[in-house]
Each structure stands twice: as structure tokens, then as C-alpha cells.
Amino acid sequence: MEHINAEPKQFSSELVEYRPLTYNEQSLGLTHWETIFGFSRDCFERYYSLAASPDYQVGDTLGAWYQRSLISTVHICRLKCEWNDEIFLCGGIALVATLAEYRCHGLSRHLLNLAIEKMKNEGFHFSFLGTDQPGHYAALDWEESNVPYLTIKLNEDNAGSMAKWSPFDVCKLIPIYKTRKRPLQFQRSKSYFEHWVGWDWRRTSAIVNIIDDGYIVLSAPDEEEKRWTVIEWKAPNEDTENVLFKSAASEALKRGTKNLRIDTLPQYLDKQHFRELGHLTEKQNNNIMLRNINLPMEKYKELLQLYESGKAVWWRGDWF
């Protein structure tokens, strides 16, 4: 989540103070983000809530202050990742937000440099962000990761599944999420699953099909999209993955659309298998960027390859 470009306003950059927000200043951060992004306050309260962000620490929001007013922010989300039975700390860059009259003065760039320094000093391994302005971050060594996804124009004969779809049940999903692992995935506590992932799923009216050894999540179309989206799934093998995707195709057709998006490549099935469901198109999401913080370079390159191959996934529920 970011907002950085507009016409500049003359002011004295020498008078800008850069420092983290204190606990008592968090409400100023919430008001700042509401003003700039226009979303409801509960969207931003998650960043400070230990229920939704259990690893949050006071000081993870960096601010630029001018004449005692908060005019720009960068927030670091602390996310733990499992990778080859090791735990790695990811710094998610979010809420890059500058008031319109103070943009184009390098405020967010200065804050991003402070964020990089903070992550290096506090033992983060790598950093993650989503953006439609990659040049702003590429200058500070974040790299675009061309993450694959699929779209399918569904055949009408896929509507036969009798799967039971319902709102999500965290208690049923957690054991499957933990045991049906991708090569790299974010850790999810029950609280985080309910209050961070669940907040997003409720917002998008997501529905879930849970079977004995897997699950799949469909997100409802927004006003612009005319398609349902598979935003997450877990399966132990090819057969289960096949059952889950067929159920998603069937449900999309039952709900009145032939268009289905799948947010990454299948874990077990060959992607060509989806041609049985309809006309398949593979595309790339170029809005995801990664940056090395404290990983050996060989390990970091391996990380990039995992995301670009679709083996590692930044599920929508984890977006920040």
C-alpha cells in the first residue's frame, strides 16, 4: 500500500525531522493513512494490532515530521517465513505515504533508506513489497520479481462439482496450512490467520472448499473484475489439487462467470492440465519486488527463483 507521486510544494526540507512514531503517536499514523488512502480505519489498525500483527514492534513506522506535523511514512511489517525448516525474517514495506503538498521532495526515499538500515541492524533477511511504481524502489535495490499467474476461459462442461463452499473456518484451515507446505511460506498463527488473513478474506467475500487433506479459496469479483479468483489452496498431491481446481471452476460457472484467475502456478499439476478446464493464458505479475537485506547472495538468488517459478507464493491474504 503506497502513495508517493504528485506535484511538489515549496518548503524547507532542512526543517524535516525523520524518526519513528512512538506508541502515543500511532493514532497520528492512522489518521495520516486514512487521509491519503481513503480506506476505513480498521484497515490500518491491523498494522498496530498484536492480534493481526503479532510481531509488530513500536518504532516500525518511520515518519517525516515538518512543523510538528506528520507528513510522510514508511511502515515495516514483520513476517516470519519457513524455508527448508529454517525461519527467516521478512520486512514487508507498506504504507509508503506522503501528503500531496509535500511529495517529490525525497521524503519517502529518505524513509526507505532508514527502513533498510533498520532492517539490516535488526537481523531481517530480505524485504518484500507490492507496487505499481517499481522505479521508485529499484533505485534502492528492490528487484522486480516476475511472478506467474493463470487465467482460464472456462468450458461450460465444468459445472458438475458438488463441493460445499462456505465462509472460512480458521480452526479447520490451520492444520492443513501448516502441513501442506510450499517450499517457502509465511508462518500463520491462529490470531494472525483470523485477524490479518481473515480480514482480507471477509473484505472480498471469499469462500472456501475444505476437504480432508486440502482446501481452496475463491475470492469474489470486485466492481471492475468479472471473474472469480483462486487466491489460495493447499494440497498434498496431484490428485487432491486436481479435485480442488475442478471444484473452483465449477463454482465460478455456477456463480455466473466463465472467467477464472489462479494467483500462481499449481504445486503438483502440470499447468497444461488446466487446458482441460478451458482456454489457458499464463501471465506475469510485475508489481512484486524483493530486496536482499542479510542473506548470502546465493541464498537470495534462490529465493528470487522460488517466487518467479511459482513454487513460493505471496498469498493475497498475507498482502500488506
52: cell is: 493481526
Closest by CA to 2, choosing from 136, 159, 126, 167, is: 136
242: cell is: 486436481
pLDDT score of 40 more than 60: yes
The neighbouring-strand residues paired with 260 are 152, 228
pLDDT score of 2 more than 80: no
Domains 2-141 and 148-286 share a fold: yes
User: What does CATH list as the number for 2-141?
Assistant: 3.40.630.30
Alpha helices in the chain (DSSP H): 26-37, 41-45, 107-121, 134-138, 170-179, 190-192, 198-203, 238-254, 297-308
- For the entire predicted model, the pTM comes to 0.92
Query: If you average pLDDT over residues 297-309, what whole number do you get?
Result: 96
pLDDT at 9: 52
Closest by CA to 273, choosing from 238, 307, 247, 308, is: 238
Residue 139 is classified by DSSP as T
Q: Which residues contact 6 (CB under 8 A, 6 or more apart)?
A: 100, 103, 104
pLDDT score of 161 more than 90: no
Closest by CA to 32, choosing from 92, 74, 67, is: 74
CA angle 256, 258, 259 (to 5 degrees): 115
Query: If you average pLDDT over residues 140-156, what whole number do you get?
Result: 94
Of the candidate ranges 3-17, 46-60, 160-174, the one whose mean pLDDT is the lowest: 3-17
What DSSP string describes 92-123? EEEEEEE-GGGTTSSHHHHHHHHHHHHHHHTT
User: pLDDT, tens digit, for every residue of 175-225?
Assistant: 999 999 999 999 999 999 999 999 999 999 999 999 989 999 999 987 677
Q: Alpha-carbon distance 76 to 109, whole Å? A: 14
Q: Provide, rounded to the nearest whole percent, the portion of the chain with pLDDT above 90.
A: 87
Q: Alpha-carbon distance 24 to 30, whole Å? A: 12
Question: Residue 275: how many CB atoms within 10 A of its CB?
Answer: 12
Total number of residues shown for the chain? 320
- Grid coordinates 512543523 are at which residue? 67
Of the candidate ranges 21-30, 129-138, 150-159, 163-172, the one whose mean pLDDT is the lowest: 150-159
Q: Alpha-carbon distance 84 to 17, whole Å? A: 42
3-state secondary structure of 246: helix
What is the domain class of 148-286 according to CATH? Answer: alpha beta
- Grid coordinates 489462479 are at which residue? 262
| Sequence spans of domains, the chain | 2-141, 148-286
